Structure 1
Amino acid sequence: MRAVKINLYYIYTILTITGLLAGGCKSAKVPLAATPFAPLHERLPPLETAADPGPLALSDGILPEDPLRLLTNELQRNLAEPTDSATYGYVRLVITQAAERRLNRGLQALQMTLLLTPTFLGVPLETYQTDLTAELQISDAQGHLLGTYAGKGRGRARVAMYHGYAQKNAPRLADVLALRDALAHIRPQLDTAAARLRPLLLAHPVDNPTLPTTAARGRR
């Protein structure tokens, strides 16, 4: 009988965790969609975009379309001028390194025994952390690489009640925040380089809007 009570206790605890994490957490929609407004002093001309997730493609969190969407948002909001049709080069996002960790997982067993009381007091069940390095490769219309700019980023997403995110959303949010952080570190480099890049890009428009092989290979 005691064994049955213990089993029921853990079943109720697991069901409680599932219900709380599904319905009582922050929404990840706003952080995933938001891009900070920090435009370059001199924007680049309109560019064709491409993204290579590299090792981040193995992540359980990020969606295949997220890197390109983040790059496009960053380009439209901060880096390049608006475009109607003409483009003057290429920008390629390449994620060269990525590492993911799950922090504080040891606290979950303790929280289960305490019926999740700590999570109501601000203690997360666990935290997803992503560290990555990303590059932006800028090429002209002929596919000549004009510059490569790299930045490191870190993203963290806590799994917790009310002040955290649901288990299913946290891995993706950590990946997205890390990539956005890397882009934020790249932005000042482009701000410095824009005066040099702009005339080189404006020299020729892109005739065929596809990423050239030279640009796709990236840094040599």
Structure 2
Amino acid sequence: MFRTPSASLSTRLPTLEVAVQTGPLAASDGALPEDPQKLFQNEINQNITDSGDSLLFGYARLQVTEATAARAGRGFQAFQMLTFMAPSLFGMPLEYRRTSLRAEVQIMNDRGQVIGTYEGIGRSNVRVAMYHGYSQSDAPRLADADALRLALAQIRPQLETDSDTLRMQLLATEPIDQNAIKLEMHEINVSPFPEGIKRSIVSAGL
């Protein structure tokens, strides 16, 4: 579920501290609270930043600004019930779970100043079936994860275009004082970000 495609930037950014605001996705019955954090952290580590660098030169913030979930094809269920679920043997779905979302990624310098903002849209369509699809319990979570993964895939080429400039701007400042940052694995209110945004802090390879 958390597999990230390998599509590294040609010019990787220095290591960034990761922050996530799930916004409307937090109300979804699909994604677990930690899912967006894991997906974004994987994307940052695998494709965006220098994985071997222990110094933090800024922040990468993911914000889900819009999210909607829907169920489609539920008429299949009525037909399946009338036929004693026989069509399931031949791959007929019970329904589809779909998620559409809009995500924004901001790159900030060590002072929390935004130096780049990028937006992507993701739309997923997950098949629910007894033998040839996902279960009704797993499909909503997968739909949310797939939609976010697709949105991040749209953002990646935008970062590629600006990667040289972003790297130069990030390295032009001092590394973040890591001793002044309380690294915890739960959501807290922080001051380094503008307006005291709420974030999930991870060790980012420290």
How is 1:1-220 mapped onto 2 (pairs within 5 angstroms)? 32-203=1-172, 204-207=174-177, 208-209=180-181, 212-214=192-194
Q: Quick check: 1:137–1:215 contact (8 Å CA) kept in 2?
A: no
CA 105–216 in structure 1, closer or farther in 2 if over 3 Å, else same: farther
Report SS of the residue matched to 1:33.
coil
CA 43–216 in structure 1, closer or farther in 2 if over 3 Å, else same: farther
Q: Quick check: 2:2–2:38 contact (8 Å CA) kept in 1?
A: no
Larger radius of gyration: 1
Q: In 1, Cα distance between the equivalents of 2:111 and 2:79?
A: 60
> Offset at 1:209?
4.0
TM-score using structure 2 length: 0.86
CA 215–197 in structure 1, closer or farther in 2 if over 3 Å, else same: farther
Alignment-mate amino acid for residue 106 of structure 1: G
CA RMSD of aligned residues (A): 1.7
Q: In 1, Cα distance between the equivalents of 2:77 and 2:101?
A: 26
Alignment-mate amino acid for residue 99 of structure 2: T
Q: In 1, Cα distance between the equivalents of 2:158 and 2:146?
A: 19
Q: In 2, Cα distance between the equivalents of 1:37 and 1:101?
A: 29
Q: In 2, Cα distance between the equivalents of 1:216 and 1:105?
A: 43
> Offset at 1:159?
0.9
Alignment-mate amino acid for residue 193 of structure 2: T
Q: Which runs of 5+ in 2 are unaligned?
A: 183-189, 198-206
Alignment-mate amino acid for residue 175 of structure 2: P
> Offset at 1:35?
0.8
> Offset at 1:192?
0.3
Residues 48-89 of structure 1 deviation map (CA, whole Å, 9 limit, x = unaligned): 001011000000010000111101100111111114531100
Residues 169-217 of structure 1 deviation map (CA, whole Å, 9 limit, x = unaligned): 0000000000000000000000001111001111221114476232865
Alignment-mate amino acid for residue 158 of structure 2: Q
Percent identity for Structure 1 against Structure 2? 51
Report SS of the residue matched to 1:55.
helix
Residues 85-142 of structure 1 deviation map (CA, whole Å, 9 limit, x = unaligned): 3110000100000011100012211101111122222221000000000010110001
Q: In 1, Cα distance between the equivalents of 2:93 and 2:195?
A: 43
Structure 1 window deviating more from structure 2 (117-126 vs 64-73): it is 117-126
Q: Quick check: 1:143–1:215 contact (8 Å CA) kept in 2?
A: no
Q: Quick check: 1:145–1:215 contact (8 Å CA) kept in 2?
A: no
Moved over 6 A (4+): none
Number of positions where the alignment pairs a residue of Structure 1 with one of Structure 2:
187
Q: In 2, Cα distance between the equivalents of 1:116 and 1:132?
A: 33
Q: Which runs of 5+ in 1 are unaligned?
A: 1-31
CA 139–146 in structure 1, closer or farther in 2 if over 3 Å, else same: same
TM-score using structure 1 length: 0.81
